[in-house]
């Protein structure tokens, strides 16, 4: 079977690349259904892009690499496509755009675009040996028990990273990169809950299920979003964001309720209602179990009226700079993305083509470009896929 473009992976990047019409195109995937990570994303409503998407929202060993693709296919371009398909959407918070109804609408839109482009999709297809000679790629595929060799002018690797293996992640892209001599950066789980041990975990478990507005800082970077306490440690948007910047041994600095000046608030309340306990006053701004724990950890006893200004400053330090050191993360099992991947020095920033092997492209999550939480990684999938499809169509 001879075609122009073989795309490995029927996820966001692979489907969108095929939808751009890079010649006679075949998309293959071992999953039973296309776009499985799209389906489960955003609580089933798919946070498909972000109004504020820009290079500053991505991590990479080369922070400039993503600029070209992002500028040539923007969030506005994808939003226009969504609207042309009549998909209702809304902004949830911080520029995050979601479907009004279902993430399945995004999958259906991509499949409709693939049909229009004439792309063929083979699911439940195993990818075997891949070779390259005479300017052509040859890939052994197993479908319905039959081995089929597909020969293509271009090979696009869009098989994602290592995150959420139960959804089919295998790390295949990294093995293909190694096969063709491409360097890779260190990979690790990102946008992932953080775990704790010992006495710290026991304290956090007592707060499981509670959430709080917080600013979390680590290694000079901070995010202010919701913080969620769990039976294993910490989660919620603020923690998922900071997890991309955290490394083993690093402490987190947590400022609870940044909108509240606790020192001045408590001083004022001391004058008019000082006979209440510290935890009672704190619970006006924090969940009661959290307020009680903070009061206990400060070591202060008695009512608010009993506390000096110095004692209140000590208490407030626990609220504005609560230091906790995770022991690890929940790993790829729950990580939304993989940090690191194919070294961007190996790829053209304009086309995503491998410099060492013309016709070989890597797009989406497998590349060392990782977005923040909030639709940024989907935007990278759309932008990098568009860059590659445009380049293939022009050759």
DSSP 163-180: S-GGGT---HHHHHHHHT
What is the structure's pLDDT at 12? 98
**DSSP letter string, 238-301:** HHHHHHTT--TTPPEEEEE-TT--HHHHHHHHHHHHTTSBHHHHHTTTS-HHHHHHHHHHHT--
The C-alpha atoms of residue 24 and residue 46 are separated, in whole angstroms, by: 29
- Span 193-219, average pLDDT: 97
What is the pLDDT confidence band of residue 301, given thresholds at 50, 70 and 90? confident
What is the structure's pLDDT at 167? 84
The C-alpha atoms of residue 351 and residue 390 are separated, in whole angstroms, by: 8
Q: Is the pLDDT confidence value at 305 over 90?
A: yes
- Span 54-62, average pLDDT: 98
The contacts of residue 39 (CB under 8 Å, 6+ apart) are 33, 46, 103, 104, 107
Q: How many other β-carbons are positioned within 10 Å of the β-carbon of residue 299?
A: 10
What is the structure's pLDDT at 166? 86
The C-alpha atoms of residue 34 and residue 11 are separated, in whole angstroms, by: 6
Identify the CA nearest to 338 among candidates 182, 194, 187. Answer: 187
pLDDT tens-digit readout, 65-117: 999 999 999 999 999 999 999 999 999 999 999 999 999 999 999 999 999 99
- Total residue count of the chain as it appears in this document: 395
What is the structure's pLDDT at 302? 86
- Span 122-149, average pLDDT: 96
Q: Is the pLDDT confidence value at 334 over 90?
A: yes
Q: Side by side, which strands form the sheet with 194-195?
A: 322-324, 252-256, 211-218, 221-229, 233-235, 194-195, 328-329
What is the structure's pLDDT at 22? 82
Percent of the chain with pLDDT strictly greater than 70: 100
Q: Is the pLDDT confidence value at 265 over 90?
A: yes
pLDDT tens-digit readout, 208-243: 999 999 999 999 999 999 999 999 999 999 999 999
What is the structure's pLDDT at 168? 84
What is the structure's pLDDT at 21? 86
Identify the CA nearest to 361 among candidates 388, 393, 383, 341. Answer: 388
What is the structure's pLDDT at 99? 98
Q: CA-based angle 387:393:395, to the nearest 5?
A: 105
Least confident span in 115-119, 130-134, 255-259, 273-277:
273-277
What does the block give as tokens for 346?
A: 């190996």
DSSP H stretches of helix in the chain: 12-19, 36-40, 67-72, 75-84, 104-117, 172-179, 198-205, 237-243, 262-273, 278-282, 288-298, 309-320, 376-394
The C-alpha atoms of residue 292 and residue 32 are separated, in whole angstroms, by: 49
pLDDT tens-digit readout, 10-33: 999 999 999 998 899 999 999 999
What is the structure's pLDDT at 160? 96
């Amino acid at each position: 079977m001879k075609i122009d473009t073989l795309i490995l992976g029927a996820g966001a990047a692979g489907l969108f690349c095929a939808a751009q019409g890079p010649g006679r195109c075949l998309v293959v995937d071992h999953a039973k259904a296309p776009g499985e990570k799209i389906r489960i994303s955003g609580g089933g409503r798919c946070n498909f892009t972000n109004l504020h998407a820009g290079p500053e929202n991505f991590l990479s060993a080369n922070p400039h690499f993503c600029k070209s693709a992002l500028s040539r296919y923007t969030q506005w371009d994808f939003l226009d496509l969504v609207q042309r398909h009549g998909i209702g959407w809304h902004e949830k918070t911080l520029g995050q755009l979601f479907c009004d109804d279902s993430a399945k609408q995004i999958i259906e839109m991509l499949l409709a675009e693939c049909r229009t482009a004439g792309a063929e999709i083979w699911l439940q297809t195993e990818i075997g040996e891949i070779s390259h000679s005479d300017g052509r790629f040859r890939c052994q595929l197993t479908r319905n028990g039959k081995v089929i060799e597909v020969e293509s002018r271009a090979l696009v690797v869009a098989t994602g990273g290592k995150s959420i293996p139960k959804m089919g992640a295998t790390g295949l892209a990294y093995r293909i990169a190694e096969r063709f001599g491409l360097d890779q950066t260190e990979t690790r789980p990102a946008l992932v809950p953080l775990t704790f041990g010992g006495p710290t975990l026991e304290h956090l478990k007592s707060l499981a299920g509670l959430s709080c507005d917080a600013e979390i800082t680590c290694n000079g970077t901070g995010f202010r979003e919701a913080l969620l306490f769990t039976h294993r440690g910490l989660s919620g948007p603020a923690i998922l964001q900071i997890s991309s910047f955290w490394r083993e041994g690093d402490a987190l600095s947590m400022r609870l309720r940044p909108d509240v000046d606790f020192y001045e608030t408590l001083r004022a309340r001391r004058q008019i209602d000082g006979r209440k306990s510290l935890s009672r006053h704190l619970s006006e701004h924090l969940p009661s179990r959290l307020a009680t724990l903070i009061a206990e950890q400060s070591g202060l006893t008695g009512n608010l009226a009993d506390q000096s200004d110095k004692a209140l400053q000590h208490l407030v330090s626990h609220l504005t700079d609560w230091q906790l050191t995770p022991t690890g993360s929940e790993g790829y099992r729950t990580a939304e993305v993989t940090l690191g991947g194919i070294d961007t020095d190996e790829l053209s920033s304009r086309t995503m083509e491998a410099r060492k092997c013309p016709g070989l492209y890597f797009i989406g999550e497998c590349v060392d470009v990782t977005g923040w939480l909030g639709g940024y990684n989907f935007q990278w999938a759309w932008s990098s896929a568009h860059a590659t499809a445009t380049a293939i169509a022009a050759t």
